[in-house]
Structure 1
Amino acid sequence: MASSGYYLVVLLFGLFMLMISFVESQTTDPNSEECKGKWVYVRKLPSSFNLDLLVNCSNYPLYDDFCPHLANHGLGHKTHNRSHSWFRTDPYMLELIFHRRILEYPCLTTNPVQADAIYLPYYSGIDAISYLYGSDVNSSAHHGLGLFDFLSNDSPEIWNRNHGFDHFLVMARPAWDFSQPLRNDPVWGTSFLELPEFFNVTALTLESRFWPWQEQAIPYPTSFHPPSVLLMESWIERVRRTHRTTLMLFAGGGGVSASPNIRHSIRVECENTTSGGGGGVGGNNFTISGSISKICEIVDCSNGGCDHDPIKYMRPMLQSSFCLQPPGDTPTRRSTFDGILAGCIPVFFEDSSAKTQYGWHLPEKQFDEFSVFIPKEEVVSRGLRIVDVLTSIPKSEVRRMREKVIELIPRIIYRRHGDSMGWRTKKDAFDIAIEGAIRRIKSRISVTSDS
């Protein structure tokens, strides 16, 4: 008997085919000035590289059943039936979300020669699961070779025209998951980004390494996907009006062992603080705003407890002035974007947690205008208290920083596909990623042409 995942994929496939037919019949005038320098061609890949990978969504090894996350083209199910904007989104569905959105991109072309960039709708993160957990774990160097074989043999002139420099794809995992050295015994990850065959392709990842030019981190999807600018602006007004009664919040897991690390230090400091509107906390005298009734709050997200339940962490974030964003297994966190969405000023402990990652979406030169940086070594090894740093920031500066955070909200969300009311005048994370990819591609082609 076929699984529910099979029927869902059949439905998705049908909807995708309808969308593709519609797009091809509505192709923008190739002489459009509005699209000059912005043309994107969607490479037609066999379904084995995308939709077929979703059929076994409940049977991947050592991985949760992600069939529910496929609903609404990767946005997941609504948080409640009457919701228009809130979904139980899994960040690893970004490849599916991106694929659906690009079919609405206003400057698609059916002519690859006209294209400024060529998008590969390959669900690399989902395809990687069998290499990460399953029977193919000892074949990590093979991940991606099938795709290269297809690109080289099916209409090879498309790939050969710029030797892959004009191609880009989305990889809904940290780049480290695709960076297993080719000659090493597999420890963790596949070798997709280490394959020379793909050195020229631009990879949009959830987290990038700092040296390969082709990698660029783009925001983790939050659970907020408004279908209209009006609903987005309504949320922003709610964020701006919210009464914040907690000084700082950490939403996450880890830090429960006695081994010294930044998450452990955060938990200890939070547990040792007391509530109050002013006076001494932990032996240090400082004053805090009379509106603050709680110094620190921890939202326990251990074992994926917050992954698909935005209500659990969004309400506390809305009530907090600062959201602590310590690194975990990797430097970056989805929580960074959840906090920004809530107008909660991010506190970073490593530059690689955001400053050196999301340059297209979070302006690096203005980082100190919307975030706080505290070196983790100062906290873990030298006893610097986070609360002392945050309470030393003048209230007027906190207000300015929060307003800067709020200004970033449209840039870090992925709007809902379909209805695009008012979005032509606003750019979301998808729009900014497309523009960045085209810029990167043009720059690389220019460099290779001159050399």
Structure 2
Amino acid sequence: MSHRQLIRAKHQMDKSNVIRKCRNHLWCVIFSSILFWFFLFYIYSSDLTSRKNVVRPLQNDYSIGVLSQEPNSLRETENDSETNTPPKSTENRVQPNTEEGDLINVQQLQKKDPEIKSSNIRTIADEGQTLSEDAEPEIRPLLTKTEDQSLTTEEKVELIHEPAITEQVGNPQSTVEARQLKRDEIQSAVSRLKPTSNDEEEEIPVEAREEKNVVEPVNRTWSNPISAKEKIEPVNQQSKPKSDMCSGRYVYVHRLPRQFNDDILKECRKISMWTDMCRFTTNMGLGPPIGNSRGVFTNRGWYATNQFALDVIFSNRMKQYKCLTDDSSMASAIFVPFYAGFDISRYLWDFNISMRDSASLALVKWLTRRPEWKVLGGRDHFLVAGRISWDLNRLTDEESDWGNKFLQLDEAKNMTTLVIESSPWTGNDFAIPYPTYFHPSRDIEVFQWQNRMKRLKRRYLFSFAGAPRPGLSKSIRGQIIDQCLASRRKCKMLECYNKSNKCNNPSNVMKLFQSSIFCLQPSGDSYTRRSAFDSILAGCIPVFFHPGSAYVQYIWHLPKNYTTYSVLISEIEVREGKVDIEKRLLRIPKVQVIAMRQQVIRLIPKVIYADPRSRLETLEDAFDLAVQGVIKKVDRARKAIRDGVDPDAGYAEANSWKYNLFGTEAPHEWDPFFSKPKRTIS
């Protein structure tokens, strides 16, 4: 047999062996296939079971202890629940946070409810980091995004610390209804934190997000009735019965004849002899927008606002107030939308007293006929006059005497009048901040500006923007200007008394204050200055020379401990040449200066008026604090009347500055400053 035949025979033999082997082990193949299909069926069944159990974590005893505003953290919580993995115990767990008390104290919860286990509490904390009190803000920039971008949670928390939202879910033995109730509360809290997805944020353009956050203004005039449907509900609040959301905060607004408000605006050219107020009453009283060509401002929320435009600004903000009511019996206070400041501005010069008093007398005549007035004799009524108190506080009927006598009327003495400067010796007028140039429509705009003011490097130790008062014998402005000019390396001067009058340009004023550590705020024609609030807005520490310039004025908006945000140098010592301002300021420790500047920046939301065409989400502005102050004052008066006590009894009106600020008429170190009532600083 040839070699080729041998190979062919061997190949056929091997092939037959393979076939025989496969036939012998065919049962193995069949068995393996059966096992494989059983395995696939098992996997499929397990997947179905896991899907059916997805909702179980929502009803078991695992709870969300703190809902963070951090989207990723929230998604991690949901993922843990879906895998049905018990969360780790939070005992002895250290969470990075921004405020003491934000973390859940497991031991305290266990004391309140022994059935709560530490393993059943989940904590999700914001990983923010506050700025150290002794840290130099210029060295630690807080905002690296552009002004148009949104802040992260960590950046926001440096300026405003919101308490965490805590929800305590019942134990496994609790009823289904109770667990469902807690589940609804959790879902409600989660919905308030939306959008929680980074993807959602990316899908919404910046313009769309801005439009989404802006509350459309209600087309409402105070001459027409306000229907219940037009009431604006509070934002960013948990769903509660309507009676609870605004309990103790309702405000009723009188429907005045147009002669007291709208008709005055129609004659806006008569409001001021030197200024075209028609220009400054546009944009709900904010005035024309300010460009940002010099980079002094941010791109939104800045207007050339007139310092006497508060009448219309406040009235338009009231239209956006969360707790308006058309039922006066529910109201804690009653607003009178009379443009008292605009009214007297028309007649301050070259008009007889009958013309100056005519609108005020007509107003009180109209009010006293209303049933709302008769409930408390007007003690629950309040109005706004965007002028200083002296313009409405004429003491005599002499033609040469200044202003009208609105605040001297018996009916007006029962009401509360909000002015930009109050009299220290009368008890029915209260000061609220001058309007500044900044009117944000969203919280994020305030946060961005605050962080920007923290990062600024300031070249000058102190600065002064103003003009001398040679006609006032006791004015110290001349000495201040001399000291500033003598210290050019430490002091920057902005002259406001030449023909160019650079102080009329908001960019010049704000640029000066942004470059200064301290801003001098001496008295002028009266105790107060709008400049003081411009300096706070710029993060510049105000230096006052009279307690009547701020401390006894804005008791609802500024801290009572004035040393935390300002410096007081006695004008008496400056007048007598006993004080070197530069040396006095240099003696303040750097750590204290940093703390004061941080406090000034924290005050920014409290001294600005938000855009009346929108609404801030969480921050309270100067308007909100003013309304709160009025309501508290009315509540005290109402309680005194119920107790049969005269609300004005207990202190002499001449000591009202002392009583309102300190609650006592005891002797005080500031008594020499207020020894003699005077209309202007002379």
> Which category describes the TM-score, using the shorter chain as reference length?
0.7 to 0.9
- Distance between the aligned counterparts of 2:230 and 2:492, measured in 1? 51
The reply on whether 1:273 has 2:487 as its aligned counterpart is: yes
Residue 216 of structure 1: aligned partner: 430
Residue aligned with 2:273, SS: coil
Residue 285 of structure 1: aligned partner: none
Give the drift of 1:259: 5.8
Alignment match of 1:261 (pick from 471, 475, 485): 475
Encode CA deviations 1:129-173: one digit per residue, 9 max, x unaligned: 2331243445444451100111123xx211111100010001100
The reply on whether 1:33 has 2:244 as its aligned counterpart is: yes
Alignment match of 2:259 (pick from 48, 55, 59): 48
- Distance between the aligned counterparts of 1:34 and 1:317, measured in 2? 40
Residue 426 of structure 1: aligned partner: 619
More displaced 10-residue stretch of structure 1: 135-144 or 401-410: 135-144
Encode CA deviations 1:379-421: one digit per residue, 9 max, x unaligned: 111331111100111111111110111111111010112232x
Give the drift of 1:20: 7.0
Residue 388 of structure 1: aligned partner: 583
- Distance between the aligned counterparts of 1:248 and 1:216, measured in 2? 30
Residue aligned with 1:132, SS: coil
Give 1:320-399 correspondences, 5 Å limit. Answer: 320-364=516-560, 366-399=561-594
Alignment match of 1:167 (pick from 361, 368, 381): 381
Give the drift of 1:333: 0.5
- Distance between the aligned counterparts of 1:397 and 1:268, measured in 2? 27
Inter-CA distance 415–211: structure 2 relative to 1 (3 Å threshold): same
1:221–1:334 CA contact under 8 A, matched in 2: yes
Residue aligned with 2:269, SS: coil
1:361–1:412 CA contact under 8 A, matched in 2: yes
Inter-CA distance 257–125: structure 2 relative to 1 (3 Å threshold): closer
Letter in 1 for 2:579: L
- Distance between the aligned counterparts of 1:328 and 1:42, measured in 2? 35
Inter-CA distance 66–372: structure 2 relative to 1 (3 Å threshold): same
Give the drift of 1:60: 4.5
Give the drift of 1:308: 5.2
Letter in 1 for 2:282: A
Gaps of at least 5 residues in structure 2 are 1-217, 234-239, 293-297, 646-682
Alignment match of 1:132 (pick from 348, 351, 364): 348
1:143–1:192 CA contact under 8 A, matched in 2: no
Inter-CA distance 143–52: structure 2 relative to 1 (3 Å threshold): closer
Alignment match of 1:239 (pick from 446, 453, 456): 453
1:77–1:87 CA contact under 8 A, matched in 2: yes
More displaced 10-residue stretch of structure 1: 403-412 or 16-25: 16-25
- Distance between the aligned counterparts of 2:354 and 2:363, measured in 1? 19
Alignment match of 1:98 (pick from 301, 314, 317): 314
Give the drift of 1:448: 2.6
Encode CA deviations 1:200-242: one digit per residue, 9 max, x unaligned: 0001110011232221100000000011110111011110000
- Distance between the aligned counterparts of 1:446 and 1:186, measured in 2? 41
Letter in 2 for 1:352: G
Inter-CA distance 63–136: structure 2 relative to 1 (3 Å threshold): farther
Inter-CA distance 367–60: structure 2 relative to 1 (3 Å threshold): closer
1:227–1:419 CA contact under 8 A, matched in 2: yes
Inter-CA distance 255–266: structure 2 relative to 1 (3 Å threshold): farther
Give the drift of 1:59: 3.5
- Distance between the aligned counterparts of 2:598 and 2:290, measured in 1? 27
- Distance between the aligned counterparts of 1:307 and 1:136, measured in 2? 33
Inter-CA distance 30–135: structure 2 relative to 1 (3 Å threshold): farther
The reply on whether 1:448 has 2:652 as its aligned counterpart is: no
Inter-CA distance 105–60: structure 2 relative to 1 (3 Å threshold): closer
More displaced 10-residue stretch of structure 1: 175-184 or 215-224: 175-184
1:88–1:308 CA contact under 8 A, matched in 2: no
Of structures 1 and 2, the one scoring higher in RCO (CA 8 A, sep 6+) is: 1
2:225–2:255 CA contact under 8 A, matched in 1: no
- Distance between the aligned counterparts of 1:121 and 1:22, measured in 2? 14
- Distance between the aligned counterparts of 2:286 and 2:227, measured in 1? 21
More displaced 10-residue stretch of structure 1: 138-147 or 308-317: 138-147
More displaced 10-residue stretch of structure 1: 161-170 or 141-150: 141-150
Encode CA deviations 1:2-21: one digit per residue, 9 max, x unaligned: xxxxxxxxxxxx94449978
Structure 2 length-normalised TM = 0.58
Give the drift of 1:197: 1.9
Inter-CA distance 139–51: structure 2 relative to 1 (3 Å threshold): closer
- Distance between the aligned counterparts of 2:361 and 2:473, measured in 1? 41
Letter in 2 for 1:367: Y
Gaps of at least 5 residues in structure 1 are 1-13, 276-294
Query: Identity over aligned residues, as a percent?
Result: 37
More displaced 10-residue stretch of structure 1: 51-60 or 237-246: 51-60
Alignment match of 1:302 (pick from 483, 492, 497): 497
- Distance between the aligned counterparts of 1:300 and 1:124, measured in 2? 32
Residue aligned with 2:463, SS: strand
The reply on whether 1:65 has 2:294 as its aligned counterpart is: no
Alignment match of 2:632 (pick from 439, 442, 449): 439
Residue aligned with 1:404, SS: helix
Alignment match of 1:122 (pick from 338, 343, 362): 338
Inter-CA distance 305–409: structure 2 relative to 1 (3 Å threshold): same
More displaced 10-residue stretch of structure 1: 68-77 or 19-28: 19-28
- Distance between the aligned counterparts of 1:211 and 1:447, measured in 2? 22
Encode CA deviations 1:67-121: one digit per residue, 9 max, x unaligned: 1001101000001289421100012111100111111111100111111100000
Residue aligned with 2:414, SS: coil
Give 1:80-99 correspondences, 5 Å limit. Answer: 80=291, 83-99=299-315
More displaced 10-residue stretch of structure 1: 78-87 or 349-358: 78-87
Inter-CA distance 160–138: structure 2 relative to 1 (3 Å threshold): closer
Letter in 2 for 1:384: V
2:545–2:568 CA contact under 8 A, matched in 1: yes
Cα RMSD, aligned residues only = 2.5
Inter-CA distance 258–60: structure 2 relative to 1 (3 Å threshold): closer
Letter in 2 for 1:369: T
Greater Rg by CA:
2
1:50–1:122 CA contact under 8 A, matched in 2: yes
Aligned residues: 415
- Distance between the aligned counterparts of 2:332 and 2:272, measured in 1? 39
Give the drift of 1:36: 0.6
Residue 415 of structure 1: aligned partner: 610
Encode CA deviations 1:157-200: one digit per residue, 9 max, x unaligned: 11111100010001100111111014444421110000112110
- Distance between the aligned counterparts of 2:566 and 2:272, measured in 1? 39
Inter-CA distance 111–352: structure 2 relative to 1 (3 Å threshold): same
- Distance between the aligned counterparts of 2:545 and 2:535, measured in 1? 15
Residue 147 of structure 1: aligned partner: 363
Residue 402 of structure 1: aligned partner: 597
Give the drift of 1:302: 3.2
Letter in 2 for 1:174: I
Alignment match of 2:408 (pick from 160, 183, 194): 194
Inter-CA distance 40–133: structure 2 relative to 1 (3 Å threshold): same
Residue 278 of structure 1: aligned partner: none
1:131–1:138 CA contact under 8 A, matched in 2: no
Residue 279 of structure 1: aligned partner: none
2:223–2:258 CA contact under 8 A, matched in 1: no
